Structure 1
Amino acid sequence: MAKKPAKNANEWAISDREVTRKDFPPDFIFGAASSAYQVEGAAKEGNRGASIWDAFSHTEGNIVDGSNGDIAVDQYHRYKEDIELLSMLGFKAYRFSISWSRIFPDGLGTKVNDEGITYYNNVIDALLEKGIQPWVTLYHWDLPLHLHESMGGWLNKEIVKYFTIYAETCFENFGDRVKNWMTINEPLQSVVNGYCIGIFAPGRSENPSTDTYLAAHHQLLAHASAASLYITKYKEKQGGQIGLGLDCEWAEAWSDKPEDVSAAARRLDFQLGWFLDPIYYGDYPEVMRKKLGARLPQFSEEDKNLLRNSLDYIGLNHYTSRYIAHSTESPDGHEFYQTQEVERIAEWEGDQAIGGKGGSFWLYIVPWGIRKTLNYIAQKYNNPPVYVTENGVADEEKRSAQLHEMLDDKLRVNYFKDYIAQVAQAIRDGTDVRGYFAWSLLDNFEWCLGYAQRFGLIFVDYDNQLSRHPKSSAYWFMNFLKGDKGNNGKEE
């Protein structure tokens, strides 16, 4: 196969100058993001029930560094301190998730946990006092353990009912102040890694050819049920909006050969189309039906009616891109990629790569990929409102490094500059992008990688009482949001 030359980064550059806040509309939202299991801790406080991630992280061998989220970065007790940091940096929004098992410890919806309601009321009120909009995700992977053990969790259609009860409880208790909701975060990642590869909770890989698609089907129906309830019963009186959070790495065709162009399109269908086509077009993508046959569940007419118009916006989580080539023997080795008949290519002989390397093994820095992804959504789905709900890059944990070395995160500063510039370009292209959230506010528990990866704008010292220290990237955002880029990301 002929090698494809690396894309010239300047081909997609906004201009020769650095991006500024003025490149975005005045009402464009900038925020930072996190999720409950990754930051809250207090796993056994406040009458919280266990989640699948509690069980998974406490099983030997599942987490790279042997850690868990029992304490995480202790935001449960330190939320006021973290909200002060958000305010200092100039962010006007904070995207966080609610832990289902803090609201219903067994997940079933039989008895509301008042301590959980009180905690999230306190967080929401503290944000609003600082002029920061709460953006609430209802499900960020931490399914109540009881639902998994008693009924199979996402493999059982009954879970749609329980998720809807949980969602309505949140709308009733928080919707007078929360105006921006997301039902489910990255269903693709939770089902592929949780039910196919087995590296995420609940750690299943026994039946990847069916369980992966069944779990995704039920998450999609759970989204539709909760979102439809919100839109019909709460939206008008509460004045909010609701969306779905999807992840997508851009798929650039490896060559101009028809089979590679088709493979890249297929790859996008297996990421975004999997969840958006049923909402916008009434069924899964045709190529998924063709490749998967009877393994892909069917939608009833009732399902299709629920799915139709079940979102006000799309949340896009985007980090990286790949070249995609057609291949009947995917080197990724997992059933999910074998079915797609694609090869994901990041680097090859001769030191050529699609982009610079981030701190994570999977993350290559390809700023033009986010612009292409946003424009693709606009073109395929009639230009819906989109918020970039996650975007960021990791550093590896280096225990031997000095604090000042970890705080001087030049790689992250440049990543945000370049990716945000491409978001601005997508807006100039006519794409309806309305907000951007940096992942993440704090260094935190990075799922199966534990604390070995640091995505935060704020350094968390795990060896010194979880003290917080803003990195250069935090100061870059502060200057960017306040219109002062004179110190290039350094503190005045």
Structure 2
Amino acid sequence: MKQVPNGFPKDFFWGGAIAANQAEGAYLEDGKGLCVADILKVQDSGDLKKKSNKEISTADIEFALNDKEGYYPKRYGIDFYHTYKEDLKMLAETGMNSFRTSINWARIFPNGDDEEPNEAGLVFYDNLIDEMIKNGMEPLITLSHYEMPLHLATEYNGWYNRKTIDFFVKFCETCFRRYKDKVKYWIVVNQINLIKHESFNHLGIPEDKVDNIVEAKYQGVHNEMVASAIATKIGHEINPDFQIGCMVYNGLAEPLTCKPEDVLANLQYNHMEYFFSDVLMRGVYPGYALRYFKENDIHLDIPEEDEKVLKENTADFFSMSYYYNMCTSAESLAGGGNDYGTVKNPHIEESEWGWGINPLGLRTVLNYFWDRYQKPIMISENGYGTFDTVEENGEIHDDKRIEYLSKHVDAMKEAIKDGVDVIGYYPWGPIDIISCSSSEMEKRYGFIHVDLDNYGKGSGKRSRKDSFYWYKRVIDTNGEEL
């Protein structure tokens, strides 16, 4: 009789994850075009718990393009474009055997609709991937991570326009062919279900260019899922050994109480979080989603050929980010909670940014998704964003980060013992990078501290935190010593 593992498998991927737009900088070097992330301004004041990317209008885009006074951190990142060799070498000291990053779409096709790719961009990623491999890291490459060429947003309304399907597929095919002998593992779209927190930054749809922004988002995601399926088909034709996965942010919630009304309301909420991966992993639009669209007067253009390509080209593996946990109730979803209908879990503590910390929830959702899809799972992001204090002697004691990560690794181990096929773990931002949601630098996740503030001021010096040595011990013992 088959026995479930008693811990992490020997070939487990102990990795780390970043995104090009949050790390590279060099936003106009070597032929790169502007991407949607390049117009996001630093949010350096106000309630930490309310910092997030908002809807963007054409007026907002115009302002950012002409603004000479504001600071736009993702244009500069941590200068990874020029420091990647040193950074990867330092990260490799942990024993990290895999590394996740993205290919900035606007670095390959500066406008998105260009006839030919930018060779200088392709060469950069050749060199970056080579360096990852040189340091013993299996590349995990994301093709779309909030880096849509800005031109596609302003001229085509981003993913709302079906023409963007062809533009994106061309980009994917270019990357697949270029790196087919170097990269095996691919994520097509980062956190494809993030259409609330990351709306324009994800879909590139200016809110004033459509009549119904909610309907436009779901149409945009549909087009994006079709493009993902077509890209998956082409990728498998180019290299049958490719493993091409989908990725979601874990948005699953728990019912606030066991009242039947709360349980049903929570199920319905979770349905529309499962929706995205259900389509990409199972290949069909589920009945609950069709009912949701009908009852919310959302009308989507879904040609028959789209249904066919989705059905025939499902993802090879499932991946997700896991940061925090929330609850729902019938009342909150009817308008009593925050903008998304969620409420705090009263049984768990929160980070400074209001993220509910629930390591046990990771074991729970891993089992949920494994039971649902029965395909390998990667935790492609997990991390604790907080402030760091640099001591006078240069040391950085980030005990809270270590506690957070160790408890999540332990929960992951228990899920593996449950029989869940978890194949990789990628802590988010193993080196400090610009925050996605607020474009801050001082919301730090890394094992490596980068001496830069919210306005890019500082030496840029890299320093190992206590968590760096913790992660090295975890990897050295294959997850046995936490």
Normalising by the smaller structure, the TM-score range is 0.7 to 0.9
Provide the aligned length of Structure 1 versus Structure 2.
444
Amino-acid identity (%): 28
Give the corresponding residue for 2:20. 36
User: Contact 2:215/2:300 (CA < 8 Å) preserved in 1?
Assistant: no
SS across alignment from 2:239: helix
Distance in 2 between residues matched to 1:458 and 1:110, nearest whole Å:
40
* Aligned residue type for 1:413: I
Could you report, residue by residue, the CA deviation over 1:432-451 in whole angstroms, capped at 9, with x for unpaired residues?
11111110122111134122
The equivalent residue for 1:436 is: 425
The code of the aligned residue for 1:88 comes to: E
User: Matches of 1:262 and 1:201 in 2, distance apart?
Assistant: 30
Match of 1:369 in 2: 361
For 2:327 and 2:64, how far apart are their aligned partners in 1?
32
Q: Tell me the residue number matched to 1:302.
A: 305
Question: In the alignment, is the contact (CA less than 8 A) between 1:155 and 1:214 conserved in 2?
Answer: yes
**Preserved CA contact (<8 Å) 1:51 1:144:** yes
**1:111-190 counterparts in 2 under 5 A?**
111-189=116-194
Give the aligned partner of residue 466 of structure 1. Answer: 460
Paired residue for 2:351, among 351, 354, 358? 358
TM normalised by structure 1 equals: 0.84
SS of equivalent to 1:255: coil
For 2:468 and 2:400, locate their aligned partners in 1 and report how far apart those are by CA, in whole Å.
Answer: 13
Structure 1, residues 156-185: CA drift from partner, whole Å, max 9, x if none? 011111100000000111111111111000
How far apart are the structure 1 equivalents of 2:64 and 2:197?
Answer: 16
| Structure 1 unaligned residues grouped into runs of 5+ | 1-20, 338-342, 348-352
Q: CA deviation at 1:61?
A: 9.3
Do the aligned partners of 1:440 and 1:456 also contact (CA within 8 Å) in 2? yes
Label 1:287 to 1:279 Cα distance change in 2 as closer, same or farther (>3 A): same
Q: Cα RMSD over matched residues?
A: 2.7
Instruction: Indicate conservation of the 8 Å contact 1:394/1:455, yes or no.
Output: yes
TM-aligned CA distance change 1:331 to 1:77, over 3 Å = farther
Q: Deviations over 1:368-391 (max 9, x none)?
A: 11111111111222x111111001
Q: Which residue number in structure 2 is paired with residue 350 of structure 1?
A: none
Q: Does 2:247 align with 1:235?
A: no
Could you tell me which residue of structure 1 aligns to residue 342 of structure 2?
344
Q: Of 419, 443, 452, which residue of structure 2 is paired with 1:453?
A: 443
Distance 1:105 1:280, change over 3 A: closer
Query: Structure 1 CA distance, aligned partners of 2:378 and 2:360?
Result: 17
Moved more, 84-93 or 290-299: 290-299
Indicate if the aligned counterparts of 1:160 and 1:222 stay in contact, CA closer than 8 A: yes
In the TM superposition, 1:364-443 aligns within 5 A as 364-381=356-373, 383-396=374-387, 402=391, 407-443=396-432
Distance 1:185 1:478, change over 3 A: same
Q: Which residue of 2 aligns with 1:249?
A: 251
1:482/1:194 CA distance change after superposition, 3 Å: closer
TM-score by length of 2: 0.86
Q: Does 1:481 find its partner at 2:475? A: yes
Report the CA distance shift for 1:298/1:374 in structure 2 as closer, same or farther (over 3 A): farther
SS in 1 for 2:140: strand
Return the alpha-carbon distance in structure 1 between the equivalents of residues 478 and 288 of structure 2. Answer: 48
1:332-372 residue CA offsets vs partner (Å, 9 max, x unmatched): 554xx3xxxxx42215xxxxx332222322x1110111111
Equivalent residue for 1:13? none
Structure 1 contact 92–133 (Cα < 8 Å) conserved: yes
In structure 2, how many angstroms separate the alpha carbons of the residues matched to 1:204 and 1:111?
26
Change (3 A) 1:84 1:412: same
- Distance of 2:168 and 2:228 partners within structure 1: 9
Of 205-214 and 110-119, more deviation after overlay is shown by: 205-214
Secondary structure of 1:435 counterpart: strand
